[in-house]
């Protein structure tokens, strides 16, 4: 198996002409992400960072859904218990990824489906894209350094609205604050991301890497530190009453009751 291949059919990877395209391929489950998928993704990003055949990475989903975030059933069976869990490995790998990283986002991008985008260099959104970070609604805290990066990009009050209410915001709002570069018809989104990736792949890789390093120089140590801080608190909060109530309500298909918590 070459460094950029995977046996996990829920994650597809295709590398050609310097572009590695990683595709969420679990549309029947709204591209929700399992622990094994996190491990596969972490392996792919770690390998791509040093693979000479990879100059650019593109992350994409389906025209109808990017990712619904965690697969809740799998998450309850395989919760992250340490900062070495696959989900935190993925966050660190994406945050530290040295080469250009693009995303094509159509439909819902929930939880980590949105927070990963703050680490991408270019993001192209379908006009059906809907971004949400509903961690509070699950009795949890932000992750992937979103408590640092979201206020930096959106400003404090919009960040508070997104993270405290956990309600979705849409493509036009994402474009306005700079989370996405362009809004497109969903059927064109992946193709435009590929076209931009080809432009980048034709440029000198050393110059791309150094430019990205300098762009992120002011925030890089703080991002990795915040991922660790959020992760430690996230793990603790999973065992607390609010999260237990939220996940029980999800499984029982009822509205959670946090009034006594």
Provide the number of structural domains found in the chain.
1
**Contact (Cβ atoms closer than 8 angstroms) between residue 64 and residue 186:** yes
The answer to the question of residue 257 being in a domain is no
Q: Is residue 2, in this structure, part of any structural domain at all?
A: no
pLDDT tens string 24-76: 999 999 999 999 999 999 999 999 999 999 999 999 999 999 999 999 999 99
In-domain check, residue 97: yes
Q: Which residues of 143-165 are buried (b: 16+ CB within 10 A; e: fewer)?
A: bbbbbbbbbeebeeebbeebbee
Residue 202 lies in a domain: no
The CATH number for 230's domain is 3.90.226.10
Dihedral (CA of 167, 172, 178, 184) sign: positive
State pLDDT tens for residues 183-212. Answer: 999 999 999 999 999 999 999 999 999 999
Residue 197 belongs to a domain: no
Q: What is the mean pLDDT of the chain?
A: 96
pTM (2 d.p.)? 0.95
Q: How far apart are CA 243 and CA 235, in angstroms?
A: 11
Is 199 domain-assigned?
Answer: no
Q: Is residue 194 domain-resident?
A: no
- The gap from C-alpha 149 to its chain's centroid, in whole angstroms, comes to 13
Q: Is 242 a member of any domain?
A: yes
- Structural domain harbouring 235: 11-185+212-252
> In whole angstroms, what is the distance from residue 69 CA to residue 53 CA?
29
């Amino acid at each position: 198996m070459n460094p950029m291949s995977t046996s996990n059919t829920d994650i597809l990877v295709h590398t050609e002409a310097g572009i590695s395209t990683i595709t969420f391929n679990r549309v029947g489950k709204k591209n929700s992400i399992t622990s094994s998928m996190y491990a596969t993704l972490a392996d792919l990003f770690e390998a791509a960072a040093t693979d000479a055949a990879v100059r650019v990475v593109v992350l994409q989903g389906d025209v109808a859904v990017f990712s619904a975030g965690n697969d809740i059933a799998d998450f309850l069976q395989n919760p992250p218990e340490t900062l070495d869990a696959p989900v935190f490995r993925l966050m660190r790998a994406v945050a530290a990824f040295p080469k250009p990283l693009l995303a094509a986002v159509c439909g819902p991008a929930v939880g980590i489906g949105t927070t990963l985008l703050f680490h991408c260099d270019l993001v192209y959104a379908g006009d059906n894209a809907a971004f949400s970070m509903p961690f509070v609604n699950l009795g949890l805290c932000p992750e992937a350094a979103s408590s640092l990066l979201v206020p930096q990009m959106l400003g404090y009050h919009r960040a508070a609205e997104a993270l405290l209410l956990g309600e979705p915001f849409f493509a036009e709002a994402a474009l306005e604050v700079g989370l996405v570069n362009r809004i497109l018809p969903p059927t064109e989104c992946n193709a435009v991301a590929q076209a931009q990736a080809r432009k980048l792949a034709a440029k000198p890789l050393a110059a791309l890497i150094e430019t990205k390093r300098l762009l992120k120089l002011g925030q890089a140590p703080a991002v990795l530190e915040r991922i660790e801080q959020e992760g430690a608190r996230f793990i603790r909060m999973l065992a607390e009453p609010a999260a237990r109530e939220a996940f029980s309500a999800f499984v029982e298909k009822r509205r959670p009751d946090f009034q006594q918590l």
